[in-house]
């Protein structure tokens, strides 16, 4: 892929992920959260598995490691997103995007525990500590107000980040050879089914759904663009430019979400939240400092 196309894809994925958070916030006016995320996942799964059926023979899990990856991906990687949809009822979309920017750090922490070849060393511990300090600054838990809806919303989104990160590491740990579109499609089916079960448990009902044109457009956008194009585009970036540069999407996404939330949803962001975001970014930079140094050295060698 040429440099121009890579930059174009990077910008497109950033915009898609950045617009997803305001889209979720807008859609919550028409859907209860768990049924909302389940519908998004079922539709995205249908699109992905149709593509898989038309383009490959590796359509379903074949080996035990495939099943482990699909179940872990469904229960955690996809299922965990439900916590984020529930949490976004109570907080601004930009705040949710900022909390999600912690995901590379949390993923690194789980990888340290579950993937022996990815152990944290030295200053990595400080990097993880900075990441969690950033979230603490954003959430600002007060023992006297732990049931405040805003605090609950932030904690639910942080829970979503943690569960999704665990799913990411468990899928990687499975060492599956299953193609990513097929794996993701079947994981979405499992995750959506779990979310429907959770919706029934907490009393969500289809009678509370309001199918307006905007509601349908929101579901379609989240399924087609965030659920399919965004995911596939991000994986292409990881393969093409490496995980370090691809992860920069995570830190540009909140900027898009903040601007759209301010412009279209009248969301107001507290300055302390931006401070927390800065601390999280500093943690990521420290965690990836060796990779950053290697990239800088490579570019210097190239242009000497």
Task: Report d(CA 288, CA 123) in Å as an integer.
Answer: 10
pLDDT, position 242? 58
* Percent of the chain with pLDDT strictly greater than 70: 86
Helix crossing, 271-287 with 289-302: angle to 10°? 70
Residues 6+ apart with CB under 8 A from 26: 214, 218, 264, 265
**Poorest-confidence range of 48-57, 102-111, 113-122, 137-146?**
137-146
Tokens 């970036």 map to which residue? 237
Residue 221 sits at φ, ψ, to 5 deg, of -65, -45
pLDDT band at 127 (very low <50, low <70, confident <90, very high): confident
pLDDT, position 304? 56
pLDDT, position 141? 64
Q: Is the pLDDT of residue 175 over 60?
A: yes
Q: Is the pLDDT of residue 292 over 60?
A: no
pLDDT, position 220? 95
Structure tokens at 179: 């193609």
pLDDT, position 295? 55
**Poorest-confidence range of 10-24, 123-137, 176-190?**
123-137
Q: Is the pLDDT of residue 9 over 80?
A: yes
Q: What is the pLDDT of residues 221-252, one digit of tens each?
A: 999 998 888 877 887 776 676 555 666 777 78
Q: What is the pLDDT of residues 268-290, one digit of tens each?
A: 777 888 888 888 888 777 766 66
Task: Report d(CA 44, CA 189) in Å as an integer.
Answer: 9
Task: Report d(CA 231, CA 301) in Å as an integer.
Answer: 33
pLDDT, position 115? 80
Q: What is the pLDDT of residues 190-223, one digit of tens each?
A: 999 999 999 999 999 999 999 999 999 999 999 9
Task: Report d(CA 186, CA 107) in Å as an integer.
Answer: 22
Q: What is the pLDDT of residues 28-76, one digit of tens each?
A: 999 999 999 999 999 999 999 999 999 999 999 999 999 999 999 999 9
Between 180 and 31, the higher pLDDT residue: 31
Interval 174-183 mean pLDDT: 90
């Amino acid at each position: 892929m040429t440099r121009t196309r890579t930059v174009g894809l990077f910008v497109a994925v950033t915009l898609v992920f950045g617009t997803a958070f305001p889209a979720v916030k807008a859609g919550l006016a028409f859907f209860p959260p768990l049924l909302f995320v389940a519908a998004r996942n079922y539709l995205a799964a249908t699109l992905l598995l149709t593509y898989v059926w038309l383009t490959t023979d590796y359509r379903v899990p074949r080996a035990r490691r495939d099943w482990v990856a699909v179940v872990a991906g469904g229960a955690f990687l996809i299922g965990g997103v439900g916590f984020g949809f529930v949490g976004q009822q109570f907080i601004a979309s930009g705040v949710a995007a900022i909390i999600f920017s912690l995901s590379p750090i949390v993923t690194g922490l789980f990888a340290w525990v579950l993937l022996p070849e990815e152990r944290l060393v030295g200053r990595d511990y400080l990097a993880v500590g900075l990441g969690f300090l950033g979230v603490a600054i954003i959430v600002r838990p007060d023992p006297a107000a732990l049931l405040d809806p805003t605090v609950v919303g932030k904690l639910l989104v942080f829970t979503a980040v943690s569960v999704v990160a665990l799913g990411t590491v468990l899928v990687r740990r499975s060492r599956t050879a299953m193609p990513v579109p097929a794996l993701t499609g079947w994981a979405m089916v499992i995750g959506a089914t779990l979310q429907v079960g959770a919706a029934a448990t907490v009393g969500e009902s289809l009678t509370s759904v309001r199918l307006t044109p905007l509601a349908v457009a929101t579901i379609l956008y989240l399924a087609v663009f965030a659920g399919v194009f965004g995911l596939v585009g991000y994986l292409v970036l990881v393969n093409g430019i490496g995980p370090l540069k691809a992860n920069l999407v995570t830190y540009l996404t909140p900027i898009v979400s903040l601007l759209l939330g301010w412009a279209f949803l009248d969301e107001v962001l507290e300055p302390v939240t931006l401070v927390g975001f800065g601390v999280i970014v500093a943690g990521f930079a420290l965690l990836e400092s060796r990779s950053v140094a290697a990239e800088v050295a490579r570019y210097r060698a190239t242009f000497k």
